[in-house]
């Protein structure tokens, strides 16, 4: 990996934050590189928003250091930090027009009027908001407000742009469109983005790197592909994408056994002769026709257009296995409730975990 | 008309009847009196005239009007200057303390208006607490004539109506979306600039509501000027009082009262319109 290639623009070093007795962030360290699109991903209450607010300067860490371009900014007031936050609620000033909202941050820098006007007009053009310049936030749709909030933060040309659930308030269609839009904008303006999200799909689509958080700790940090294909533990495996879990045990012969089946998997240093969980994604289970596979019965079928999701009851686990098959093709015949099928697991794509 | 609206109309009837009987009808009577001629020993004679309204703009009375506007205006200004920081401090306090602090702010209302006003006589007179305290600190000149002055009247008005103003501003401040403050800081504004550019503009509806409230109550007030002003000067309320009870000129008193009511209604309408325009914006900011 090219982890060490560029120096970090933002580094978080052993940051801890308590709220009363509960620990929100439990000694997190992170290096975020120049021009990176970085995602903090986790369920609600995992500490991702608290971490973002500490970077922005709205919460002070109990201990630890936050550095921007190698300068300690841990105790700096929010207005002194050359980074900007796009709020989940957008937090547009309701008494100002779109134009005034954009100009606000530049006025605070004490720029001359002429320059402010030029930069606001440029940003309005970039974000396709020129027609709305004179409107108040109350007169905008959700998607328009989102663009104004983004433009208002970007116009400051921050070192790092922080985005708190930026697409959370939008409907599904618009969200997918904006995911690509955000990614395009990020590469266009060349600013480091740190996005907080609970939506794993959003993180996978947009981010260059993802940190998965839970209970104030980072469980895994890596590229979307690493996290999807090589989850570090059972939680990450279950949180990202669809996953089947099969309880079993690793025998002395280094084979994973469950429901009378034995499977050769990468043990990557796990204990032998001990219980383990096998995780396998629906697309890594295939239907086999030669009768050598694991016998099962289709109990449910969900049609997704391009493919079908089969729920197959087997001896491997109490819960039916999810199997993804193409919607059209030779497997179509099996895709009906009640069909008897035979399954084959792609051993190379299986992951084993021990608690 | 559906039975639902019929029932709700029926339930509103007592309130409407009450307001009609004791508010609208008396107002209409006073309004009618304003166009009649004074009776010799009080009461009215039924001769129509507009002369009472012409007398209102007589320099003598216009002067009293202006004095009243000035006193009410100054009372409003001082009340806002005191109430805003107080409301702000209450908003900054922990959530569970806020109701208690508000309770203390409103506590003076639990005693009688007259007693509260008399208390200021005790404080302000030449042998009062303030002059005694000054002497105790070594001041040995002539005792200060604090009482029976315009200043004493303003102090009395501010003191009596301050809780209303605090409550009005507090309700505006407490509804302000805190993320707007953070957004302003994030965009590079200091605390002070954030206050002037975001907090104050967005809480102006509360300031306006509290301000109009104390102004309207002050401009028509006659008890405080009578007790703390000592009859040395008059406000419009005292003038109306005198016309009815001393000068026995009911029609002129009625005309003065009508002009006063017109001023108050105009102010309340302005304030209602301003806050309606604003509430759309702040409501939007909250759920935004």
Predicted confidence (pLDDT) per residue in B237-259, tens digit: 888 888 888 888 889 999 999 99
pLDDT in tens, B265-277: 998 898 888 877 7
Q: How far is CA A349 from CA A158, A234, A282, in A?
A: 41, 15, 11
Contact B281 A94 (CB under 8 A): yes
CATH fold of B60-287, please?
A: MetI-like fold (1.10.3720)
Q: Do B187 and A89 touch (CB under 8 A)?
A: no
How high is the pLDDT of residue B125?
A: 81
Which residues make Cβ contacts (< 8 Å) with residue B142, sequence separation at least 6?
Answer: none
pLDDT, tens digit, 9 for 90 and up, residues B160-189: 999 999 999 999 999 999 999 999 999 999
Q: Which chain B residues have a beta carbon less than 8 Å from that of A153?
A: 186-187
pLDDT at A135 over 90: yes
Cross-chain residue pair B189–A104, CB shorter than 8 Å: yes
pLDDT at B286 over 50: no
- Pick from A3-17, A290-304, A307-321, A326-340 the range whose average pLDDT is largest: A307-321
- B45-89: per-residue pLDDT in tens? 888 888 888 888 888 888 888 889 999 999 999 999 999 999 999
Mean pLDDT in residue range A325-348: 81
Q: Does the beta-carbon distance from B185 to A136 stay under 8 Å?
A: no
Residues of A in contact with B190 (CB under 8 A): 77, 79
Quote the ipTM score: 0.84
Residue B233 has pLDDT above 70, yes or no: no
A38-51 pLDDT, tens digit per residue, is 999 999 889 999 99
- pLDDT given for residue A220 in this prediction: 94
User: In this complex, is the C-beta atom of B274 within 8 Å of any C-beta atom belonging to chain A?
Assistant: no
3-state secondary structure at position A318? coil
Residue of B188, B189, B194 to mutate for A, most A C-beta atoms under 10 A? B188
The answer to whether the Cα torsion of B50, B54, B56, B61 is positive or negative is: negative
| pLDDT value, residue B245 | 86
* Per-residue pLDDT at B133 exceeds 60: yes
Residue B287: what pLDDT?
A: 40
Q: Does A110 touch chain B (CB under 8 A)?
A: no
The helix/strand/coil state of A164 is strand
Residues 6+ apart with CB under 8 A from A19: A50
Q: Half-sphere exposure of A80 toward its Cβ, with a 13 Å CA cutoff?
A: 9
* Sign of the four-CA dihedral B57, B62, B68, B74: positive
Q: Dump pLDDT digits (tens) for A253-289.
A: 888 888 888 888 887 788 888 899 999 999 999 888 7
Q: Which of A56, A94, A145 sits opposite B186 (nearest CB)?
A: A56
Whether B201 contacts chain A with CB within 8 A: yes
In terms of phi and psi (left: phi > 0; alpha: psi -120 to 50; beta: otherwise), the region of B42 is left
pLDDT in tens, A279-322: 999 999 988 877 778 888 999 988 888 888 899 999 888 889 99
Tell if the CB–CB gap between A93 and B288 is shorter than 8 Å. no
Q: What are the CA-CA distances from residue A72 to residues A214, B18, B192 (Å)?
A: 26, 69, 25
What pLDDT sits at residue B244? 86
């Amino acid at each position: 990996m090219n982890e060490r290639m560029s120096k970090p623009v933002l580094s978080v070093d052993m940051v801890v934050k308590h709220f009363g007795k509960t620990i929100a962030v439990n000694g997190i360290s992170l290096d975020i590189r120049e021009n990176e699109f970085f995602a903090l991903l986790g369920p609600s209450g995992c500490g991702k928003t608290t971490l973002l607010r500490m970077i922005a300067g709205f919460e002070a860490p109990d201990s630890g250091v936050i550095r921007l371009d190698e300068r300690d900014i841990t105790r700096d007031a929010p207005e002194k930090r050359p980074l900007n936050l796009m709020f989940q609620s957008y937090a547009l000033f309701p008494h100002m027009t779109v134009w005034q909202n954009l100009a606000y941050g530049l006025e605070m820098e004490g720029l001359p009027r002429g320059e402010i006007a030029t930069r606001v007009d440029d940003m309005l053009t970039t974000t396709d908001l020129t027609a709305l310049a004179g409107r108040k936030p109350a007169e905008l749709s959700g998607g328009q407000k989102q663009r104004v909030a983004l433009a208002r933060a970007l116009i400051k040309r921050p070192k790092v742009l922080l985005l708190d659930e930026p697409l959370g308030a939008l409907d599904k269609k618009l969200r997918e469109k904006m995911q690509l839009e955000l990614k395009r904008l990020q590469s266009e303006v060349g600013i480091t983005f740190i996005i907080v999200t609970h939506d794993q799909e959003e993180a996978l689509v947009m981010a260059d790197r993802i940190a998965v958080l839970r209970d104030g700790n980072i469980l895994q940090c890596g590229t979307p592909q690493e996290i999807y294909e090589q989850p570090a533990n059972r939680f990450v495996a279950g949180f990202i994408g669809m996953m089947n879990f099969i309880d079993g045990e690793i025998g002395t012969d280094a084979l994973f056994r469950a429901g009378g089946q034995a499977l050769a998997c990468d043990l990557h240093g796990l204990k032998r002769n001990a219980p383990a969980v096998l995780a396998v994604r629906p697309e890594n289970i295939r239907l086999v026709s030669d009768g050598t596979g694991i016998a099962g019965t289709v109990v449910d079928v969900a049609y997704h257009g391009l493919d079908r999701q089969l729920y197959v009851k087997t001896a491997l686990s109490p819960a039916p296995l999810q199997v993804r098959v193409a919607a059209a093709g030779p497997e179509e015949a099996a895709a009906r409730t009640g069909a008897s099928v035979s399954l084959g697991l792609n051993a190379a794509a299986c992951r084993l975990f021990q608690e | 008309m559906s039975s639902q609206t019929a029932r709700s109309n029926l339930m509103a009837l007592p309130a409407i009847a009450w307001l009609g009987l004791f508010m609208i009808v008396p107002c209409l009577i006073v309004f009618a009196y304003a166009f009649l001629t004074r009776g010799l020993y009080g009461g009215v004679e039924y001769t129509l005239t507009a002369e009472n309204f012409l007398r209102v703009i007589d320099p003598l009375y216009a002067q009293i009007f202006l004095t009243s506007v000035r006193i009410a205006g100054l009372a409003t200004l001082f009340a806002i200057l005191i109430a805003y920081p107080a409301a702000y401090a209450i908003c900054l306090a922990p959530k569970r303390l806020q109701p208690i602090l508000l309770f203390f702010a409103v506590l003076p209302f639990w005693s009688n208006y007259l007693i509260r006003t008399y208390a200021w006589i005790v404080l302000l007179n030449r042998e009062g607490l303030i002059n005694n305290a000054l002497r105790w600190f070594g001041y040995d000149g002539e005792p200060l004539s604090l009482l029976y002055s315009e200043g004493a009247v303003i102090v009395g008005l501010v003191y009596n109506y301050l809780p209303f103003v605090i409550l009005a501003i507090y309700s505006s401040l407490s509804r302000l979306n805190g993320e707007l403050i953070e957004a302003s800081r994030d965009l590079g504004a200091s605390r002070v600039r954030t206050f002037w550019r975001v907090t104050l503009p967005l809480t102006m509806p509360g300031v306006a509501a509290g301000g109009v409230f104390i102004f309207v109550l002050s401009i028509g007030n006659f008890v405080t000027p009578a007790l703390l002003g000592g009859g040395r000067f008059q406000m419009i309320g005292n003038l109306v009082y005198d016309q009815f009870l001393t000068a026995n000129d009911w029609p002129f008193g009625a005309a003065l009262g009508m002009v006063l009511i017109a001023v108050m209604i105009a102010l309340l309408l302005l304030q209602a319109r301003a806050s309606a325009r604003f509430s759309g914006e702040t409501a939007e900011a909250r759920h935004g």
